[in-house]
Amino acid sequence: MRIVLLGTGNLATRLGISLRSKQVEIIQVFGRSETSGSQLSGLLGCSFTTSREEIRLDADLYILAVSEDAIPEVLSGSGIRKQLVVHTSGSVSIDILSNVSENFGVFYPLQTLSKQKEVDFSTVPFCIEANNAENLKTLSILANILSDKVYQIDSAKRRQLHLAAVFVCNFVNHFYSIGEKLLLEYQLDFEMLQPLILETANKAILLSPPEAQTGPAVRDSQQILEQHLILLKQHPAWQQLYNLISIDIKNLKQ
C-alpha cells in the first residue's frame, strides 16, 4: 500500500513513523509548513511538497492528518477525484469527504499524540468507517497492521467516543497543568505529584473510576473544601471549577 500523508503535525508525524516501521510505504508528505514538512519527509524518506498541484496521484490512500477546519480544503486544487481519501478526526462526519473524492472514509486513532513522544500503536483503538465495503476492507487491513484493536464505528458513535475522550484526556491533562502551576506558585516540585498521577490512572482502570474515588469531596469534608477554596482565591476560574466538580463528585456518589 502506497500512502500520501497530508499534514505535518502530531498525528501525521506519529502515524507516518509508525506506518514506516511496519514497512508501509509513504510516498509523499504534503503540508503548509516548510520546516516541519522537511523534517517529517526526512524521517520518512519520501518527498515533500507545499503545493496542492504537486500532490501525487498514484497512491492507494490519502490520509488527511490536518485540523478539522482544514479538511474540506486540503485537496481542492489537487488532481484527486477517485482515490481513497480518509480523515483522522474524532468528531467530523465521514460526509465531509463526499465532495472531495468518490472513495472516502475515516481512520481515527483514539489516542493523544505529540511529536515529541513515541507511542505504541498496537494497543490504540482504531475507529474506521468507509463509503463502501471495499474501502472499509482497505482501511481494516491498514489498521490491523498498526493495532490489535480495530473498531468499525459510524460518525455519530465516533463523535460520542471523542467527547468522552476529551474528558478523560484533554480535561485531565489540563488538571495536570493546574497542578503543575499551583506547585510552581507554592515553590514545590511537580515531580512530587507524579506517583499520584500514575496511580490514579492505574487504579481507575483496575477498579472502576467511581470505586477508585478518594479525597475530600467524596468524603464530604466541608472544612477541607472551604480551606481549599480560600487557597484558590487568586484563581477565580479554578475556584469555580473546584466548587462545581466537588458538587458533581458528591452527586455522582448518591
x-or-dash string of contact with its own copies, 45-64, rule CB under 8 A: --------------------
Which of 90, 87, 86, 64 has its CA nearest to residue 8? Answer: 64
Alpha-carbon span 139 to 208, nearest angstrom: 33
199 touches its own copies by CB under 8 A: yes
Alpha-carbon span 216 to 249, nearest angstrom: 10
33 touches its own copies by CB under 8 A: no
User: Looking only at residues 84 through 103 of this chain, which bind its own copies when binding is defined by CB under 8 A?
Assistant: 91-92
User: Looking only at residues 107 through 146 of this chain, which bind its own copies when binding is defined by CB under 8 A?
Assistant: 110-114, 116-117, 119, 123-125
201 touches its own copies by CB under 8 A: yes
212 touches its own copies by CB under 8 A: yes
C-alpha radius of gyration, the chain, whole number: 22
Q: Which member of 53, 58, 69, 233 binds its own copies (CB under 8 A)?
A: 69
Alpha-carbon span 175 to 49, nearest angstrom: 38
Alpha-carbon span 180 to 193, nearest angstrom: 8
- Nearest 5°: phi and psi at 150? -115, 125
Q: Are 68 and 92 in contact (CB under 8 A)?
A: yes
Nearer to its own copies, 79 or 210 (CB): 210
| Nearest-approach distance from CB 225 to its own copies, in angstroms | 9
Give 160's contacts (C-beta < 8 A, 6+ positions apart). none
Region near its own copies per CB under 8 A, out of 57-65, 79-87, 137-145, 244-252: 244-252
Q: Where are the beta strands (DSSP E) in the chain?
A: 2-6, 25-30, 47-49, 61-64, 84-87, 103-109, 126-130, 150-152
Phi/psi class of residue 83: alpha, beta or left (left: φ > 0; alpha: ψ in -120 to 50)?
A: beta
For 203, the enclosing helix (H) or strand (E) is: helix 194-206
172 touches its own copies by CB under 8 A: yes
Q: Which member of 37, 47, 192, 254 binds its own copies (CB under 8 A)?
A: 192
DSSP annotation of 100 reads: T
| Nearest-approach distance from CB 27 to its own copies, in angstroms | 27
| Nearest-approach distance from CB 129 to its own copies, in angstroms | 15
Region near its own copies per CB under 8 A, out of 26-34, 42-50, 138-146, 193-201: 193-201
Nearer to its own copies, 54 or 176 (CB): 176
178 touches its own copies by CB under 8 A: yes
CA 3 to chain centroid: 20
Region near its own copies per CB under 8 A, out of 25-33, 42-50, 130-138, 189-197: 189-197
170 touches its own copies by CB under 8 A: yes
Nearer to its own copies, 104 or 126 (CB): 126
248 touches its own copies by CB under 8 A: yes
Grid cell listed for 12: 501525521
